[in-house]
Amino acid sequence: MIIDQILQEIESSHSFKLYGKVKKVIGLMIESKGPESSIGDVCNIILDKRRKKIVQAEVVGFREDHILLMPFTSVQDIGPGCIVETTHKPLQIQVGEALKGMVLNPLGLPLAEGEQLPVGLKGYPTEQNPPNPMTRPPVQDVLEVGVKVIDGLLTVGKGQRIGIFAGSGVGKSTLLGMIARNTYADINVIALVGERGREVREFLEKDLGPEGMKKSIVIVATSDQPALMRIKGAYTATAIAEYFRDKGLNVLLMMDSVTRVAMAQREIGLAIGEPPTTKGYTPSVFSILPKLLERTGTNEKGSITAFYTVLVDGDDMNEPIADTVRGILDGHFVLDRELANKNQYPAINVLKSVSRIMNNLIDKEHKDAADTLREKLSKYYQAEDLINIGAYKRGASKEIDEAIAMYPNIIQFIKQSVTDKLSYEQAIEQLKNVVR
């Protein structure tokens, strides 16, 4: 039996290596004649004979008998005739408990210069299949996020996937920082994809803070990095979250932003010759989004509760990426620029936001209080223009009179300082007091 296994391994092993040669570099794409590879394989492009300079690239497509490669770094120094060596393996990262508190690049390596990975880590592939739908337990337990408008009116469960939809500068990063600091999750995995370089340290030190950093692993792919690295940032963060979920933990994954992942995939798709379709996005964009977003959620061992930010162009909530992501996820929070202009933070528009699993998680008393608050807020907004110009006469409508009386308390409940932290029970008690 052992001899048969050894013979099989000998037959399947290669006694020689196959190499290819770079033939062409167009924009971000490298065209190589050989070696034999599959989509997703990592290749090494050797820049000098002593192998001191090597650029890693991934096979992203084929053109006739040539391989199309996209590098993880810049294409600088790559020329015709450079040797291409395949590893016959997709990208793998090193994962383990020792990564807590670290900031990594999309390849799973420390971002800070001179810092080394801890010893005792385990290799883990960045691309995985989503859990089988039949093995996914339903979302049953409330996840306390410490933001009262979410806990009270948009309750989130362990294993739920939420989209945070907003234009630029409306407070997405601040809200993510509050959730990361206040949530009772075993570990946070945070992906900053396509961020400005200036904002990385600002988010780590100001929004996340030392308290949040202790139980977090942060993966950073800044906007100046190649498109492939930005996509790998999303895949690496998801893989790390999956590793800890499979150890039976409740993981919180936050990704800022899915829109920049889609833009990076559009760059790759256009470079390999895909036709642009809706608003210039290629078909591959709409095929990778479900594969990426469906990897989170519950499985038979643990859960990944995911918050994905979606940067909407011109505050258009119906643009293609926002529309696609909203259809995949289990709820969406809309951050409204008008509310931010009124200094209402977090600027969550309660009437436009929904948690699809909320009714399965809360009791009747909580549901009735949340419904009442929504109804009163809706009534107030319907009559707001009349109220502001003084055209509404008190007593004309009992419901509007009640909404006007309750409105200051509703806004007081929705607003929350960045440093404030309330328990789930405190948030529900405040909600009930507002509608009494």
Rounded to 5 degrees, what are φ and ψ at 70? -125, 125
Q: For residues 400 and 387, what is the distance between their CA atoms, to the nearest angstrom?
A: 10
State yes or no: pLDDT of 252 exceeds 90. Answer: yes
Domain 93-361 bears CATH identifier 2.40.50.100 = no
Strand partners, 86: 43
Give the model's pLDDT for residue 1. 61
Give the model's pLDDT for residue 9. 72
Give the model's pLDDT for residue 266. 94
Query: What is the 3-class SS of the chain, one letter each residue?
Result: CHHHHHHHHHHHCCCCCCEEEEEEEECCEEEEECCCCCCCCEEEEECCCCCCCEEEEEEEEEECCEEEEEECCCCCCCCCCCEEEECCCCCEEEECHHHCCCEECCCCCECCCCCCCCCCCEEEECCCCCCCHHHCCCCCCEECCCCHHHHHHCCEECCCEEEEEECCCCCHHHHHHHHHHHCCCCEEEEEEEEECHHHHHHHHHHHHHHHHHCCEEEEEEECCCCHHHHHHHHHHHHHHHHHHHHCCCEEEEEEECHHHHHHHHHHHHHHCCCCCCHHHCCHHHHHHHHHHHCCCEECCCCEEEEEEEEECHHHCCCCHHHHHHHHHCCEEEEECHHHHHCCCCCCECCCCCEECCHHHHCCHHHHHHHHHHHHHHHHHHHHHHHHHCCCCCCCCCHHHHHHHHHHHHHHHHHCCCCCCCCCHHHHHHHHHHHHC
pTM over 0.85: yes
Give the model's pLDDT for residue 13. 62
Q: Which residues of 132-167 are buried (b: 16+ CB within 10 A; e: fewer)?
A: eeeebeebeebbbbbbbbbbbbbbbbbbbbbbbbbb
pLDDT in tens, 88-138: 889 999 999 999 999 999 999 999 888 899 988 999 999 999 999 999 999
218: confidence class by pLDDT, cuts 50, 70, 90:
very high
Q: For residues 155 and 183, what is the distance between their CA atoms, to the nearest angstrom?
A: 13
Strand partners, 162: 307
Chain position carrying tokens 């890693």: 56
Give the model's pLDDT for residue 16. 65
**Residues 25 and 31 sit within 8 Å (Cβ to Cβ):** yes
State yes or no: pLDDT of 35 exceeds 70. Answer: yes
Average pLDDT over residues 164-190: 90
Joined together, the tokens standing for residue 414 give 């929705």
State yes or no: pLDDT of 313 exceeds 80. Answer: no
Average pLDDT over residues 210-231: 91
Distance, CA of 25 to chain centre: 31
**Residues 373 and 431 sit within 8 Å (Cβ to Cβ):** yes
Most confident of 6-10, 204-208, 285-289: 285-289
CA-based torsion, 393, 395, 396, 402: positive or negative: positive
Domain 17-90 bears CATH identifier 2.60.120.380 = no
Query: What is the 3-class SS of 133-168, one letter each residue?
Result: HHHCCCCCCEECCCCHHHHHHCCEECCCEEEEEECC
Q: State the chain's mean pLDDT as an integer.
A: 90
Q: For residues 169 and 190, what is the distance between their CA atoms, to the nearest angstrom?
A: 19
Report, at the CATH architecture level, how domain 365-435 is classified. Up-down Bundle (1.20)
Cis peptide preceding 37, ω within 30 of 0: no
184: confidence class by pLDDT, cuts 50, 70, 90:
confident
Q: Find the length of the chain.
A: 436
State yes or no: pLDDT of 10 exceeds 80. Answer: no
CA-based torsion, 305, 183, 422, 409: positive or negative: negative
Average pLDDT over residues 24-36: 87
Average pLDDT over residues 308-324: 86
CA-based torsion, 315, 318, 319, 325: positive or negative: positive
By the 10 Å C-beta count (0-12 exposed, 13-18 middle, 19+ buried), 7 is classed as: exposed
Domain layout of the chain by residue ranges: 17-90, 93-361, 365-435
- Common-topology check for domains 17-90 and 93-361: no
% of residues, the chain, pLDDT over 70 = 97
Give the model's pLDDT for residue 51. 67
pLDDT in tens, 357-401: 999 999 999 999 999 999 999 999 988 888 888 888 888 888 999
pLDDT in tens, 419-430: 888 899 999 999
